[in-house]
Chains A and B, each alone.
Chain A
Amino acid sequence: MSVLVDKNTRLVVQGITGKSGAFHTRNCMEYGTNVVAGVTPARGGETFDHKVPVFDTVHEARAATGCNATMIFVPPEFAADAIMEAADAGVELIVCITEGIPVMDMMRVKEMLKATKSRLIGPNCPGIITPGQCKIGIMPGYIHKPGHIGVVSRSGTLTYEAVWQLTSRGHGQSTCIGIGGDPIIGTTTLDAVQLFAGDPETHGIILIGEIGGTAEEEAAAWLKENCDKPVAGFIAGATAPPGRRMGHAGAIISGGQGTASAKKDALRAAGIAVAETPSTIADTLLAVMK
């Protein structure tokens, strides 16, 4: 078991013929992901790597292949439109890797998605992986291992750090979800922990947050009332100065809100074990799982 993606996932890649789209599609296929279609407007009829049919629109791809998830590598100017196209075609899971989408565009996307059944992960995220079954995104597959720990994170390489710590200690992951570092995202920290809480194969949860917003506080409050599984958390950005955007558009302390210490306090108040440094994320969870 796992959440959102598994060996039955049928993936379409929007932007499959672009440089990074092609590179990461190959990596996903090597990992074992079932890539059934690609979409690049005006390139319909081509075949990607002699295996994957390319379509002009997501609607055609869906009708021809029954794809139920999409991975988006479309450039930022056009990425919001690509998300909406996938939702309009009825694709159930939309994973948007693209970094740098304007916030106003994401506002419209979020509004549009409310009226559909699609779930969005990202944008500006590493993607989602169920180890041994399905990888949708840019994360290195080999650091993962099938198992029972769910990982949710706003940051890419910091997730790899935590996953690698788990795998090195012999502990696998049920599913790892990179939700992305933008101010407006689809699946939130709260959504992800709710999925893990309801998954019988997930026995423990790692929640990796960073400064800015209130997503970690909301997830912590829900976990306190609704989930008995052991949870460990880490918040990046204790040393970040207020008012400066730390790489991610969403990682900014503004109006005294969104500080690392306030988030850590909220996690602790919910009974979540807090890792003091990024090198002890896995150990912090394993200590409370005993």
Chain B
Amino acid sequence: MNIHEYQAKELLTKFGADNPRGSVACTAEEAEKVARDLGTNSMVVKAQIHAGGRGKGTFTSGLQGGVHLCQSAGQARDLAAQMLGQTLVTHQTGPAGRLVNQVLVAESVEIAKEFYFAVLLDRASGAPVVVASREGGVDIEEVAAQSPEKILREAVDPAFGLQPYQTRKLAKELGFAPSQMRAAGKLFAALYRCFLQSDCSMVEINPLVLTKGGQVLALDAKFSFDDNALFRHPDILALRDVAEEDPREVAASQHHLSYIGLDGNIGCMVNGAGLAMATMDIIKHHGGEPANFLDVGGGASEEQVTEAFKILLSDPKVKAILVNIFGGIMQCDVIAQGIMNAVKAVKLEIPLVVRLEGTNVGQGRRLLAESGLPIVTAHDLDDAAKQIVALAPKN
């Protein structure tokens, strides 16, 4: 789940992590009021969409850039009026772009130094780790690849949390002056609290800045939440903006299916995440292109299979479908019946290859073969992949 920049700012503020003053606005009038309340003549107005690359994006109305500096409340109002209700296209949105419903109006700060700061889960140790660098505001993965010595790592004991001595150590190693260490340490501690108490898998601040006035601020924040923990964070769950998500992924999640859209033309429906990935891999191995990852879960009930077909068919790129179910404890004749009912319900018109394995597999395959429906049965995974690649149109 991703959240908007203004929501991330609000979350930071809630945990006492200092960031530039500002607020969200849904109308030009609100933007003007926010700007006036800031009481400064150096501001920034930012379109709120989840996709990156806003600064270099273009509105379909013609306005260049989704991020603009301005000097007065009147200018803020005019900029907001040009952005709100308009569609912003960036390199991450695709040509359709995203509708801008809110803008963030914030104080523009004068930056003296930029840093990188993140708290994330270190899988190897099973504990949190702080990753920081003096090289902020740039692609941290490039820094890590080219000059790994510039990346600091501070392991955190999960039983005790980030200790004050660790924040001082980090501040010193990042090159903060003695007079700035207190502010830096306070921000680091707040970011750790935010990570821990919001059940994040990562909080990334890039850049974290030292201003010319000596403030230490989180200028931009990226949150990754642990989906498994959202049940105990209704406040965070409420920040979800489904308009920003792939409608197929939204539909899938409503039916407890796990779906991720890709670029190919062979739709896949598989039970189990590992087998679903492996099925995509074998399609590619035989020269086809998978259109998606779709895990229908261990059960693969008729209702879920029907919903899964609907989601696959709502993708116009899908020209053939491969169903791969290792039934295990579930009986293949029951699964076959579910697939047949689903095929009838969605009036399937494109090639379908089904590979079933598990209890009563003979009965299951016979049901499919005798159904009179255009279903090709495969005798194993390799056979299934070869058949679907042969049936799918070549791109």
Q: Are the CB atoms of B329 and A279 closer together than 8 Å?
A: no
Identify which of A104, A210, A277 contacts B226 (C-beta below 8 A).
A104
Given that A210-B274, A248-B274, A278-B275 are contacting pairs, would A256 and B328 also be in contact in the complex, using a CB cutoff of 8 Å? no
B141 partner residues in chain A, CB cutoff 8 A? 255-256
CB of B133, distance to nearest CB on chain A (Å): 13
Q: How far is the CA of A238 from the CA of B293 in the complex (A)?
A: 12
Given contacts A103-B226, A156-B298, A278-B381, contact A181 B274 (CB under 8 A): yes
Q: How many residues of A contact B (CB 8 A)?
A: 60
Q: Which of A107, A214, A256 is most buried by chain B, counting CB atoms within 10 A of its CB?
A: A107
Contacts A140-B328, A181-B273, A210-B274: A161 and B121 contacting too (C-beta < 8 A)?
A: no
How far is it, in angstroms, between the C-alpha of A102 and the C-alpha of B225 when the chains are bound?
10
Across the interface, which residues of A come within 8 angstroms of B358, CB to CB? 140
Which one, A39-47, A60-68, A199-207, A239-247, is touching chain B?
A239-247
Let me know if A101 and B228 touch, CB within 8 A: yes
Give chain B nearest CB distance to A99 CB in angstroms.
8
Q: Identify which of residues 276-308 in chain B touch chain A, using a CB-to-CB cut-off of 8 Å.
A: 276-285, 290, 293, 295, 298
A76 nearest CB across to chain B (Å): 6
Determine whether A192 belongs to the interface, using a CB cutoff of 8 Å to chain B: no
Q: Which residue of A lies closest to B327 (CB)?
A: A140
Check B271 for interface membership: any CB of A closer than 8 A.
Answer: yes
Which chain A residues border B60 with CB–CB below 8 Å?
Answer: none
B238 contacts A by Cβ under 8 Å: no
Contact status of A279 and B274, CB under 8 A, knowing A161-B326, A246-B293: no
> Which A8-32 residues have a C-beta within 8 angstroms of B?
27
Alpha-carbon distance between A154 and B275 when the two chains are bound, in angstroms: 11
B329 and A156 form a contact (CB under 8 A) = no
- A161 near B275 with CB under 8 A, answer yes
Q: What CA separation (Å) do A276 and B281 show in the bound complex?
A: 9
Mark A254-280 against chain B: 1 for CB-CB distance below 8 A, else 0: 011000100000000000000011111
Contacts of A236 in B (CB 8 A): 274-275, 277-278, 281
**Inter-subunit contact A102/B228 (CB<8 Å):** yes
Question: How near does chain B come to A228, taking the closest CB pair, in angstroms?
Answer: 27
Please report which residues of chain A, range 119-168, place their CB below 8 angstroms from some CB of chain B when the two chains form the complex: 138-140, 142-143, 153-161, 164
**Interface residue? B177 (CB, 8 A):** no
Provide the bound-state CA to CA distance between A119 and B382, in Å: 37
Which residue of B226, B270, B274, B284 contacts A154 across the interface (Cβ within 8 Å)? B274
Q: Are B285 and A276 in contact (CB under 8 A)?
A: yes
When C-beta atoms are compared, the residue in chain B nearest to A24 turns out to be B329
Q: Do A278 and B196 have beta carbons less than 8 Å apart?
A: no
Chain A residues near B201 (CB-CB < 8 A): 103, 183
Q: Which of A107, A245, A247, A277 contacts B285 (CB 8 A)?
A: A277
CB distance from B102 to the nearest CB of A (A): 25
Contact present for B282 and A277 (CB under 8 Å):
yes
Rounded to whole angstroms, the CA-CA distance of A101 and B227 in the bound complex is 10
Tell me if A27 and B281 are in contact (CB < 8 A).
no
The reply on A54 being an interface residue by CB < 8 A is no
Verify if A171 is at the interface (C-beta below 8 Å from B).
Answer: no
Residue of A nearest to B282 (CB): A277
**Is A106 a contact of B126 with CB atoms below 8 Å?**
yes
With A138-B329, A238-B281, A246-B260 as given contacts, are A158 and B381 in contact (CB-CB < 8 Å)?
no
**Across the two chains, which residue of chain B brings its CB closest to A183?**
B123
Candidates B284, B328, B382; contact of A238 at CB < 8 Å: B284
Say whether B326 contacts A160, CB under 8 Å. Answer: yes
A110 contacts the other chain (CB 8 A): yes
* Residue A184, interface by CB 8 Å: yes
A77 CB within 8 Å of chain B: yes
Query: Residue A221 at the B interface, CB < 8 A?
Result: no
Least Cβ–Cβ distance between B218 and chain A, in angstroms: 20
The docked-state distance in angstroms from the alpha carbon of A285 to that of B227 is: 37
Q: Is the CB of B272 closer than 8 A to any CB of chain A?
A: yes
Q: Given A164-B357, A244-B260, is A239 in contact with B284 using a C-beta cutoff of 8 Å?
A: yes
Q: Are B329 and A155 in contact (CB under 8 A)?
A: no
Q: Which residues of A contact B275 (CB under 8 A)?
A: 155-158, 161, 236, 278
Complex formed: what's the CA distance from A277 to B326 in Å? Answer: 16
User: With a CB–CB cut-off of 8 A, which chain B residues contact A76?
Assistant: 228, 231
Interface: B229 (CB within 8 A): yes
Asked whether A157 lies within 8 Å of B272 as measured between CB atoms, the reply is yes
B199 A246 Cβ-Cβ under 8 A: no
Contact of A210 among B121, B159, B277, B385 (CB under 8 A): B277
B180 on the A face (CB < 8 A):
no
Query: Does B258 count as interface, using CB distance less than 8 angstroms?
Result: yes
In the complex, the 4 A-B pairs of residues with the closest C-beta atoms, listed nearest first: A155-B274, A247-B273, A157-B272, A102-B229
Q: Which residues of B contact A (CB under 8 A)?
A: 121, 123-124, 126-128, 141, 144-145, 158-159, 196, 199, 201, 226-229, 231-232, 258, 260, 262, 270-285, 290, 293, 295, 298, 326-329, 357-359, 380-382, 385
| 21 sampled A-B residue pairs with Cβ under 8 A | A76-B231, A103-B226, A104-B229, A106-B126, A108-B158, A111-B127, A140-B327, A156-B274, A157-B272, A157-B274, A160-B357, A181-B273, A184-B121, A184-B126, A236-B277, A239-B277, A239-B283, A239-B290, A247-B276, A279-B282, A280-B382
Q: A213-B124, A236-B274 are in contact. List 13 more A-B contacts (CB 8 A).
A: A102-B232, A103-B121, A104-B199, A140-B358, A157-B274, A157-B298, A164-B357, A183-B121, A236-B281, A247-B272, A247-B273, A248-B273, A279-B380
